[in-house]
Structure 1
């Protein structure tokens, strides 16, 4: 466990910003996609979902005891495939959250869904349970790439699911993956143009990345999967920014686009370095306890997690106190993804040091960062494709 200066000492700074949310991880999927490195598991056989959900309620109680008095501004059901859950399970988890914390009357309650597990009765059940936003894993509007990505739905099913979600929930979004093997810029222009006609307030657009431990990683290492080179990846990114901006859904984060007021509040909580509880197998959290920021992570295996919760009330396998330097680095990594940028004063408060004026000046000279009228520092359009390098320079 890491250590740092005593946060109870005179002159300490308050490390929170008033943002608090709950992430709920549902680990089960109908199938494992070849590009996915998330903590997802295909389970076959008998499964007592009601008993399993009671483990979530117990872990929520554990975290609530550590974070009394918080007001929940967002809840996010991620996975895995949360849309495989019985709507009563979603309602039970939300009830448990409401029993231990106050839920803001305007809280955003998001549930991720796959088009293959969507039907009107289930969606209406989620809405009745309190869900007011869904995020659909569409991934492509072309049947061939959908099959290559391991998706089990067709384009027609995806479009029907998006329209159904838009008719039932006040807010919705869907994801697409681009810069895929053999995809051309013209292909993506046509596909994204169709997607932007379909989208309403929000869309998430991710360049395909090869993650260790996935089937795609094995194929890539074997030379059987050819990815776009760096220059083409930048061209894909710039085309994406142009089309989304012209459609009235500009990027507010490097991979997320929304009309004003339609941004994902839960993801903004992450990127603005707020506080969040991570509930369920493999879930991560960032909690302020005694003015120290704890980085938590739970057991990944679904039924091992359940056994740990039964034995001790939680499934945590990691609970580290972050150093001031680590907090500052996390603020940079998260906040510089945002179009609004970061407040250098908050960085100095959290990390105990200022960002180097020399580094800022060097990055400005090559057009990678800029200072806004409110004093925030943000990465420019030119700098976003090399964001990792920009963050490393500022953190040095």
Structure 2
């Protein structure tokens, strides 16, 4: 039985030229990590994993529709030859199929691509490229250990424009030593590129990173919450004035240019994650025989060498998996929905509450009515809107976006989570 949920494919490329000081992603700088996991044969290994995952899906009665989006992330996907990314995309089409009009994206470090590389991606079926810009200010880029220049970013965007590819840029705010004027300059530079999508993320400092150790030692100042809130408001004002509307807490786009792949995550779609450390998600539903199937979350082995060894042995290279209970599904629906401009569908949440109570009568859950939300409305954290089908949707205000964790906690309290 084919799934009624959209299906997406994510490919993680764990290689980087160097590790940035703030980064704690599952990335490696060595060209060959052993066990078959090297830059040179990485595409072939991922293609083998696709087939193993597809076989596992069919064996468990999971028939996914053609992929509506494919996303290559990292790491630095563009550290690989363009032909390798195209080969993995073609294998995705052969394995699951790709829906007409699908969104096909790769992340790109601006100093790893040129016009010829981008043309090869476009000719190979890619539709979108997301550039890791981070900042337009040289001293901020140095603090972040980024080696590209603003000129690299602009050259990449112009090359993408010439090939008909849509472009997005990612920014990071809150780096040590970044002033409000520095941040304004970065946002304005990104806007002036004319891209259709801009992401702006607050710097997260992990203690195990180079930057985390420098902050712990006192050689770099710790990011300040008030400073980051001010920078978020600056970004929101400038981007909105430029015609890019917020659609997720950290993402703005021209209408119709939202990242469909990331929206799939926030809407709890099905997706297959390929590559070391990648996560996969399957919603509850019915298997091929019509029997109920529980929702599942799985994650690949993190280290490329061990991941490659599992593939070489013909095993789906998962490091682990777990069933998602109806109660956990409810929590995820709330957390994800309260990040989106389209809002949290109150009717869907109450259905999820009923489902969770049916599965476990001991859960102290209770349905939520609109009147219970009035204190959060009065506090300026949310708005209650009615969509075209007259369904109630809970939409975070800008204050609610800045205090997103607190809004989620208060919603959990109302639901009895």
Q: Same fold (TM over 0.5)?
A: yes
Unmatched 5+ stretches in structure 2: 288-292, 357-364
Residue 28 (structure 1) aligns with = 15
Identify which range, 292-301 or 62-71, moves more after superposition: 62-71
Q: How far apart, in 1, do the equivalents of 2:40 and 2:86 lie? A: 11
How do 1:1-396 and structure 2 match up within 5 A?
18-44=5-31, 49=39, 51-65=41-55, 66=57, 67-288=62-283, 290=287, 291-351=293-353, 352=356, 356-357=368-369, 360-374=373-387, 375-396=392-413
Asked if structure 2 preserves the Cα contact closer than 8 Å seen for 1:111 and 1:135, the reply is yes
Q: How far apart, in 2, do the equivalents of 1:193 and 1:155 lie? A: 12
Q: How far apart, in 1, do the equivalents of 2:9 and 2:250 lie? A: 22
Q: Secondary structure of the equivalent of 2:106?
A: strand
Alpha-carbon shift at residue 182 of structure 1 (Å): 2.2
How big is each residue's C-alpha offset from its partner over 1:308-355, in whole Å with a ceiling of 9 and x where there is no partner? 111133210111001111111111222211111111222233343555
Q: How far apart, in 1, do the equivalents of 2:300 and 2:127 lie? A: 27
Alpha-carbon shift at residue 228 of structure 1 (Å): 4.2
Q: How far apart, in 1, do the equivalents of 2:372 and 2:117 lie? A: 52
Q: How far apart, in 1, do the equivalents of 2:164 and 2:298 lie? A: 32
Residue 12 (structure 1) aligns with = none
Unmatched 5+ stretches in structure 1: 1-15
Q: How far apart, in 1, do the equivalents of 2:32 and 2:5 lie? A: 43
How big is each residue's C-alpha offset from its partner over 1:147-187, in whole Å with a ceiling of 9 and x where there is no partner? 11111112222222222222224311011111222222222
Q: How far apart, in 2, do the equivalents of 1:333 and 1:271 lie? A: 9
Asked if structure 1 preserves the Cα contact closer than 8 Å seen for 2:169 and 2:199, the reply is yes
Higher relative contact order (CA 8 A, sep 6+): 1
Q: How far apart, in 1, do the equivalents of 2:92 and 2:319 lie? A: 22
Asked if structure 2 preserves the Cα contact closer than 8 Å seen for 1:173 and 1:199, the reply is no
Alpha-carbon shift at residue 362 of structure 1 (Å): 2.6
Asked if structure 2 preserves the Cα contact closer than 8 Å seen for 1:175 and 1:203, the reply is yes
Distance of aligned partners of 1:45 and 1:305 in 2 relative to their CA distance in 1, 3 Å threshold:
closer
Q: TM-score, length-normalised on structure 1?
A: 0.91
Q: How far apart, in 2, do the equivalents of 1:49 and 1:190 lie? A: 36
Q: Secondary structure of the equivalent of 2:319?
A: strand
Q: How far apart, in 2, do the equivalents of 1:325 and 1:220 lie? A: 38
Asked if structure 1 preserves the Cα contact closer than 8 Å seen for 2:174 and 2:224, the reply is no
Q: TM-score, length-normalised on structure 2?
A: 0.86
Alpha-carbon shift at residue 230 of structure 1 (Å): 2.4
Q: How far apart, in 2, do the equivalents of 1:280 and 1:228 lie? A: 32
Number of aligned pairs?
A: 382
Residue 359 (structure 2) aligns with = none
Q: Secondary structure of the equivalent of 2:281?
A: strand
Q: How far apart, in 2, do the equivalents of 1:212 and 1:167 lie? A: 42
The 4+ residue runs of structure 1 with deviation greater than 6 A are: none
